[in-house]
Amino acid sequence: MEEDRSMKLAIMQPYLFPYIGYFSLIRNTDFFIFFDTPQYIRKGWINRNRILSANGESTYFTIPIQKADRNIPINKTIISNNSNWKMKILGQLNIYKKAPNYNAVIDLVKDVFSTDTIWISDLAIKSIVKTCEYLGIDIHYDIFSKMNLKLPQVKEPDEWALYITKELEYKTYVNSPGGMAFFNREKYQENDIDLQFLLQEITPYKQNRKNFMSALSIIDVMMFCSCNEICEMLRKYKIER
């Protein structure tokens, strides 16, 4: 790959219908990697997210996971089908029946849930890719566990992104603001990599409640906002170093 500082790489764990900032990271970079090999963390964002509840507050919708060793990686984590979780989540989404885009978004969710897989990572990735298609976001991506990259031994958490960026010969790495605390900026400077953090502006929109609740699942945004409105939101961000 020809080195080009304008080409931007992003890497994130696969989350289930994540919040709008995740899609901003995809839309505003050139290549995206689903980092599916770290340890699965219970009560994280891999298999659940937040939507509005019947009382106007927020609640979680969750895909249940089979019990397994606590060190199991994300891409080896199996969905539990002991309960009818699909119907439960679709029932939770009834709160949005009066939203302008309810039918289209429910069809999208059903499409994702019809994925023939036992792995939560597959389903989470499908939720993101299908949402990008719905929104008209051009996503160029790969899945880390399938890339067979030859990386040096990783000793610190921020070295995964560093070594992947170097191996793929990108010169700019973009991360979500949640990772700002543990990145060693000098380490990236020494390797001639421009380390950036994308901070998405959360634009309030009309929900079925008096006061706006931000950073819910992209499902909430899509229920109330058109694709054009969401793409306009995704243009409102800033980069910090």
What's the whole-number mean pLDDT along residues 158-163? 97
pLDDT at 209 over 60: yes
Give CA 107 to chain center in angstroms: 20
Going by pLDDT thresholds of 50, 70 and 90, the confidence category of residue 56 is confident
CA nearest 166: which of 145, 197, 195, 138? Answer: 195
Question: How much of the chain exceeds pLDDT 90, in percent?
Answer: 88
- pLDDT at 73 exceeding the cut of 50: yes
The token duo for 152 is: 């040096």
Produce one character per residue of 57-77: b if its CB has 16 or more CB atoms within 10 Å, e if not: ebeebebebeeeeeeeebbbb
Yes or no: say if 46 and 88 are a contact pair by the CB < 8 Å rule: no
* Res. 66: pLDDT tops 50: yes
Tens-place pLDDT, residues 116-152: 999 999 999 999 999 999 999 999 999 999 999 999 9
Q: How far apart are the first and last CA of the chain?
A: 25
Q: pTM for the full model? A: 0.95
The helix/strand count (H/E) of the chain reads as 8, 8
What is the model's pLDDT at position 2?
Answer: 42
pLDDT at 6: 63
Q: Residue 43: is its pLDDT beyond 80?
A: yes
Which of 49-53, 64-68, 103-107 is the least confident region? 64-68
Q: 2-16, 94-108, 116-130: which range is least confident on average?
A: 2-16
* pLDDT class of 3 with cuts at 50, 70, 90: very low
Taking alpha carbons only, the member of 12, 77, 9, 8 closest to residue 41 is 77
Inter-CA distances, 3 with 7, 57, 112, 169, Å: 8, 47, 36, 6
Side chain identity, residue 35: F
Quote the pLDDT of residue 178: 85
